[in-house]
């Protein structure tokens, strides 16, 4: 009986390990696809959904050049500046590279559960669901990247 339980435990741990490895592999492959695309100037819409007070500003339209945010506009067209009280919540996701960085941290222990769908062409995360604490309520974060456009 002990041998059976040990074997069962080993199989369960192996399954968990290969799942984590598979998501890490998927993450790495898509990050490499993004890096290989070598897109230095782009625009996209970012929708951040959570139990947050800034829903009326979504989606943000963000333009990035050489890894730096050139402009960030709220849904109403007004520019989002660093004086905006919600700016600090937007900046960790304001470039594709920052989005990958945050996602890497979440996949490696900052969150209990992370689900990601990647863009087939460029590899960037296009739909992300992060549950920081599975037993907690209202801590989930949903990120959607849409209308991505490489710019000259």
Q: What is the pLDDT of residues 48-104, one digit of tens each?
A: 998 787 889 999 999 999 999 999 999 999 999 999 999 999 999 999 999 999 999
Q: 122 or 1: which carries more pLDDT confidence?
A: 122
Given a cut of 70, whether residue 105 has pLDDT beyond it is: yes
pLDDT for 110: 78
**Alpha carbons 79 and 92: distance in angstroms, whole number:** 17
Crossing angle of helices 2-37 and 96-105, rounded to 10°:
170
Q: Compute CA 58 distance to the chain's CA centroid, rounded to the nearest angstrom.
A: 16
pLDDT for 135: 73
pLDDT for 23: 58
Residue 63: strand, helix, or coil: strand
pTM of structure: 0.80
pLDDT for 132: 85
Give one word for 4, left, alpha or beta, with left for phi > 0 and alpha for psi -120 to 50. Answer: alpha
State the burial class of residue 57 (Cβ atoms within 10 Å of its Cβ: 0-12, 13-18, 19+): buried
Sheet arrangement for strand 140-150: 68-73, 60-65, 41-50, 140-150, 125-131, 113-118
pLDDT for 21: 40
**Alpha carbons 143 and 145: distance in angstroms, whole number:** 7
Domains of the chain and any CATH numbers = 2-150 (2.50.20)
pLDDT for 5: 33
**pLDDT tens-digit readout, 5-36:** 333 333 333 333 333 444 568 999 999 999 99
Strand ranges in the chain using DSSP code E only, listed in sequence order: 41-50, 60-65, 68-73, 113-118, 125-131, 140-150
């Amino acid at each position: 009986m002990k041998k059976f339980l040990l074997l069962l435990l080993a199989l369960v741990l192996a399954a968990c390990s290969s799942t984590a490895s598979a998501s890490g592999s998927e993450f790495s492959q898509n990050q490499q696809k993004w890096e290989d695309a070598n897109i230095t100037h782009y625009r996209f819409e970012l929708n951040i959904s959570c139990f947050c007070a800034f829903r009326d500003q979504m989606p943000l339209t963000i333009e990035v050049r050489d890894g730096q945010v050139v402009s960030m506009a709220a849904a109403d067209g007004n520019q989002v500046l660093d004086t905006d009280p919600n700016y600090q919540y937007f900046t960790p996701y304001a470039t594709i590279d920052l989005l990958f960085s945050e996602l890497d941290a979440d996949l490696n222990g900052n969150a209990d559960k992370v689900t990601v769908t990647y863009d087939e062409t460029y590899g960037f995360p296009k739909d992300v669901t992060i549950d920081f604490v599975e037993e907690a309520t209202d801590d989930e974060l949903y990120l959607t990247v849409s209308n991505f456009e490489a710019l000259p």
